Amino acid sequence: MQDFLPINKKDMKKRGWDCVDFVYVIGDAYIDHPSFGSAIISRLLESRGYRVGIIAQPDWRKKESIQVFGEPRLGFLVTAGNMDSMVNHYTVSRKHRQKDAYSPGGQMGLRPDMPTVVYSNLIRQTYKHTPIILGGIEASLRRLAHYDYWSNRVRRSVLMDSGADLISYGMGEHSIIQIAEALQSGIPVEEITYIPGTVFKSKELSRVYDPIVLPSFEAVAADKKTYAESFNIQYRNTDPFTAHPLAEDYGNRGYVIQNPPALPLTQQEMDDVYDLPYREAWHPVYDSMGGIPALEEIKFSLTSNRGCFGGCNFCALTFHQGRILQTRSHESILKEARKMTQNPDFKGYIHDVGGPTADFRQPSCQKQLTKGVCQNRQCLFPEPCKNLRVDHSDYVSLLRKLREIPGVKKIFIRSGVRFDYVVADKSPVFLKELVKHHISGQLRVAPEHVSNQVLHYMGKPNHQVYEAFLKAYDKENQATGKKQYAVPYFMSSHPGCTLKDAVKLAEYVRDLGFTPEQVQDFYPTPSTLSTCMYYTGIDPRDGTPVYVPRDPHEKAIQRALMQYKNPSNRKLVLEGLKKAGRMDLVGFGPKCLIRPERDGKDNNQRTERTSSGHKASSGKRTGRTIRNTHKKKTRK
């Protein structure tokens, strides 16, 4: 168990195996680190006595590439990897990305689009009856009919297109062990219909108790209102304590049936998962290829939690990890940190201690552990629930213990602090320690927008909450005598965002003297509430219409407004101001965004302080924000 899992028959023979129980086919390169789902699932199966062979990034054009181990005794496991392949391959403008961080040397082209479908069909061509189980985020978020941004249509469940037998959705530890035990006991895969956290196919509904029958695939593909209604039912059934089975009708092909989610891991189960014998490295076969860039990002980071009750509408966590917080014990995290300090590449800096949201360390309220999360309300939005437990004391205690480990010089918090949760905390201790110990000049925060209308559709708190956080953040920086800045992330073109809202954001950027080098355009990824709004123009929660900026030209205008000082954006900015009725922002006054043209020349000339230290004549640098996101890199 101290070695990498076999990647070929030679490795398999070294272990004295004549065959493997499971062949794990992965769209990513093989990295044996607990930040990668394939490493967790394969090591977990190994710990239960199952023999697992790894086929990473097979050549999908050749059947031989998935025949490396021959036919497995129990089945094939298939995952696209740590990211949805389409997000991995394409920008929001549907252009090919230049690098794949999950492939050797960052090389593109080592996996197909939609590997879960392609790999499964390749397997099925060769092994007609061997069970195929899908997992990972791509399969999890495409488990029922879903809008696919890249083809601009509603696609069927990935289970229908792939020819696979089951989907293990969500984080998968509970369900994959139950699936393995069922197959080991001789139960045919078509009879495995009872496991929480799985999706299966059935010709009839008799195999499931008390299901909610969703609109048929034909209905949701033909009518956007029906799609929104179906999505809302799914959105309300993502909790393991209250969810019903869901059945989606595919006509003469039967039903795709989703069982309720698996129960969240207990703290002991989380500790056991992270105590498995990971090599915490990429497979040596990649050494000569430049290694795997994605590992460098998280090699010296610590996962402390899973799940998120933040409820951002553009985030897929509700459908994948769920809203119930799961945490590792301090002892488990400290053990990993001490081991980290023995790594010869460790320089004394822990890059992160967190998860989806760094400062969440317990469920939002006590009832979630027995009754689940509320179906019709959020914990933090539109304002904190009266039952919300706001307490950073456990996280502060953990960080203090980590700082005391010999060899640790500094610990950064990079996975995101939920600023409205910080504001809701009556104790200033966490913010004090955050400012004093865990920032290196800049704190990344995600207000996303300044228009309360847009924030409503994002599921984010009103802008006044962010302003309150900045005020408290400034106060703590002044108390410590530090000059540290908040680096805000903003998003353009989210559903509900009009040109007037985009101009309002540009004015805010102007007043801060802040020039974003990059702008995040809203990306409609599978199975988010915001993506449902993008496709349908309907808020699925109440059926009300939502304005959606879909036109690429308008999206370009919204992006340009946030970077109005860039001369190449001038025409788009001018067009946006005209359409928004804000020509008062064209002129020579201090509040104007661009200068009028004179003698056919562009007079939009302003100087500003940049990262190279050039003089600034517009905007005011404060402790609240950093002027330019082209910033010095956080020390690692």
> Residues at the annotated binding site for [4Fe-4S] cluster?
308, 312, 315
List the binding residues. 308, 312, 315
Q: Say what angle helices 570-579 and 499-512 make with each other, to 10 degrees.
A: 120
94: left (phi over 0), alpha (psi -120 to 50) or beta: left
DSSP helix/strand/coil, 58:
coil
Pull the structure tokens for residue 319. Answer: 């459908």
C-alpha dist (Å) from residue 65 to 56, 61, 292, 479: 10, 8, 21, 61
3-class DSSP string for 92-144:
CCCCECCCCCCCHHHCCCCCCCCHHHHHHHHHHHHCCCCCEEEEHHHHHHCCC
Q: 153 vs 84, 148, 547, 550, CA distance in Å?
A: 17, 6, 19, 14
Phi and psi torsions of 469, nearest 5°:
-65, -45
Mapped onto helix, strand or coil, the DSSP state of residue 474 is helix
Number of C-beta neighbours around residue 492 at 10 A: 28
Judge contact between 205 and 211, C-beta under 8 A: yes
* First-to-last C-alpha distance (Å) of the chain: 31
> Would you mind telling me the total number of residues written for the chain in this entry?
636
The β-bridge partners of 148 are 153
Pair 544, 538: CB distance under 8 Å: yes
Q: Which of 192, 199, 173, 188 is nearest to 48 (CA)?
A: 173
Beta strands in 253-300 (DSSP E): 255-258, 281-282
Name the packing angle between helices 463-480 and 429-437 (round to 10°).
60
Q: List the one residue out of 290, 288, 281 whose CA is nearest residue 343.
A: 281
> What are the tokens at 364?
């939002």
What does each C-alpha distance from 148 to 155, 261, 341, 446 come to in angstroms?
A: 6, 23, 43, 26
